Amino acid sequence: MEPTRDIHATLVDLLDRVLDRGLILNADLIIHVAGVPLLGVNLKACLAGIETMLRYGIWRDWDEAQRAVATEEYRRKKRVPLAPDEEVVLKMFASLWYDKGISHCWRPCHLYVTDRRVFLFRKEPAELLFECRYEDVRNIATTKKVNDAGKETYYLNLWPWSGEVVQLHPSDALVARDVIGDRMRTLGISLAENLPPLTDDEARAVGSEKAPSLVA
């Protein structure tokens, strides 16, 4: 950093110079009491933008440490929330029907079927949208409708014992239904005999009035 002098410089010029080139402060301060020097301060400071400081090798260790912390935090937020030794049996893209308050939309996410539970997770922003252990599943079923492209597509409905029906649109609802059903049978968990009916709002969400097909 070479010292320069400009008597016509404005405040904007000063700020631009501080951020881009940097500013070196050298100050010697001596405090006297009754003419006796008691305290001396020798000050040497560098004031500049972070990029300029790093370009001259200042605060490089701090910058690397901050980047490492930020990277780990970013990875932690995007990490799939699996319990120790929990095994993913099936993963596929899905959408979750959301109708809380004034919001009514399909929220994109990924469907995870593990050896312990079913859950929906999205990475951006990182959020666990839904989870349910197999023993808390009352029933599961698929509904079918014709989409705007004229093709039939399947939706997956999941009824927890403790809440309202959860409506999903997986990339392959039939496979997801069968994998969940197989896992529940492996664990010795039976589905309820009676399938809860869809409300009018729930039926409109999937655009189908057809009776759902039960898992055998």
Tell me the β-bridge partners of 9: none
Dihedral of CA atoms 107, 113, 119, 121 in degrees, nearest 10, equals: -50
Structure tokens at 103: 């919001």
pLDDT at 114: 95
**C-alpha 180: how far from its chain's center?**
25
Distance CA 85, CA 167 (A): 28
Distance CA(98)–CA(122), nearest Å, equals 14
The domain defined by 88-214 folds into PH-domain like (2.30.29)
Tokens of 162: 């403790």
Domain ranges of the chain: 11-78, 88-214
Per-residue pLDDT of the chain (216 residues; tens, 9 = 90+): 566 677 777 877 777 777 777 777 788 888 888 778 888 888 887 777 878 877 877 777 877 787 777 776 666 666 788 889 999 999 999 999 888 777 788 899 999 999 999 999 998 888 899 999 999 998 898 888 776 677 888 999 998 988 788 989 999 999 999 999 999 999 999 888 766 655 555 555 445 434 344 343
Query: What is the residue whose two structure tokens read 């959860």?
Result: 166
Contact status, residue 82 vs residue 88, Cβ threshold 8 Å: yes
